[in-house]
Amino acid sequence: MKAHLIFTGTELLLGQIVNTNSQYLARKLADLGIDLYSMVTVGDNRRRIAEAIKSAKGKSELVIINGGLGPTEDDVTREALAEALGVELKENLQALEVSSRFFKRRGIEMPQANLKQGLVPEGGLVLDNPIGTAPGILLVQGEVTYVLLPGPPGELKLMFENEVIPYLKRTYHMGGQIKSRVLKVVGLGEPAVEEKVKDLIGSLNPTLAPTVNRGEVHLRMTAKSDDPAQNEVLLNEMERKVRERLNDYIFGVDDCTLEEAIGQELTKLKYTIAVAESCTGGLLAHRLTNVPGSSAYVQLGAVTYANRWKTRLLHVGPEVLAAHGAVSPETAQAMAVGIRELTGADITIGITGIAGPGGGSSAKPVGLVYIGLNYRGKVEVFKHEFSGDRESIKYRSSQAALTHLWQRLKSYQ
């Protein structure tokens, strides 16, 4: 079974909100063994939505349209579906009850505008919305099932899981379940990773596909069979083959973040950590403390942005700053040493650099970053030259620091 997703909303096209619904629905369809053929986004325009619905016919057996079921004038998805399928909109008492129930529970009179939410394309079934005013709609025409779902993520998820999934399981044979697993790699770029597994990328079941994600390479393995246990067997075998070649660079699986992997290592070793940051402005400490339980190993995060605080708090010598500058390997090393003297942590990191967009020179361009890693008294300094805007350079600097830390935690054991 193939599916086609249509997302409506001018705010999506303008980039004003992130479409988290697309990720959710794609994952749920994969879990059901439904192949996602394609997805499109259109603005709040009745004609364009209708054209998108018409274009999906013949390509997929399941068409899900998300958004545009509210009571305002720009909510035109019901009308677009009726137009695309050549049917009329009719008042539906069940749909009207879903809308009115929301207001009755709150003791509020329902506005007249919400009456349009009681309209359903002829032949459509109403899907209950327990927390909102917009009922969903399911309509079968020929060999295609059309599903209309509201845009708010909370409403979408409840309706999809309570109404749509049971319907699909009752009505269709899904043709096997799809199961994915992601292996996360740091310390190697995508070309180097791909070179090591290029023969595996040609596998058909499971498939193996590399993607780049903010300083990491993710290897997505996807298996499909009628038996969930067989999917696990297929994925386990592919993971074994990948790890034979890349195990020293794989820090986690699926939702595991690099900072979580580091937290696991620090906890296992019973090590503590402290960081001194300049150009990253506390981002490294923020990422380390995003992990639940990080209070067991994170000691201190110091943002020594101004040179006088590098000197007064971390004891970076004025002569070091005068001779080499704030952005230098000598200063990064001194920061890593100073924060260790201050806290006594097992591992400390000092970061200094030029995040831009100004402040660079031919000798020290924007994006130049030095990372000092003090591992129980042994200091290493790493030089990086990043490109991008200020936010990107800050993030990539924190990612590089975490990558070096993870590699040292693994290699020193």
Q: Are 138 and 145 in contact (CB under 8 A)?
A: yes
* Listed residues 171, 195, 229: the one ending a domain: 171
Nearest by Cα to 329 from 295, 284, 294, 379: 379
Alpha carbons 255 and 182: distance in angstroms, whole number: 8
Task: Say which CATH number the domain at 370 has.
Answer: 3.90.950.20
Res. 381 pLDDT band, cuts 50 70 90: very high
| 20, two tokens | 């988290």
- The verdict on 159 and 274 lying in the same domain is no
- The verdict on 48 and 155 lying in the same domain is yes
pTM of the model: 0.76
Task: Say which CATH number the domain at 208 has.
Answer: 3.30.70.2860
Would you say residue 412 has pLDDT above 80? no
Span 271-318, pLDDT tens digits: 999 999 999 999 999 999 999 999 999 999 999 999 999 999 999 999
8-state DSSP, 71: S
Task: Say which CATH number the domain at 137 has.
Answer: 3.40.980.10
Radius of gyration of the chain (CA): 27
Helix (H) or strand (E) run with residue 299 in it? strand 298-303
- The verdict on 71 and 118 lying in the same domain is yes
* Listed residues 197, 230, 253: the one ending a domain: 253
- The verdict on 94 and 10 lying in the same domain is yes
- The verdict on 387 and 329 lying in the same domain is yes
Would you say residue 89 has pLDDT above 70? yes
Q: Specify the residue for token string 């820090």.
A: 251
- The verdict on 231 and 359 lying in the same domain is no
Alpha carbons 271 and 253: distance in angstroms, whole number: 23
- The verdict on 160 and 13 lying in the same domain is yes
Would you say residue 358 has pLDDT above 80? yes
Number of domains in the chain: 3
SS (H, E, C) 362-380: CCCCCCEEEEEEEECCEEE
- The verdict on 184 and 262 lying in the same domain is no
- The verdict on 146 and 183 lying in the same domain is no
- The verdict on 380 and 262 lying in the same domain is yes
Per the structure, the complete domain to which residue 389 belongs is given by 258-411
Q: What is the pLDDT of residue 178?
A: 84
- The verdict on 290 and 384 lying in the same domain is yes
- The verdict on 139 and 109 lying in the same domain is yes
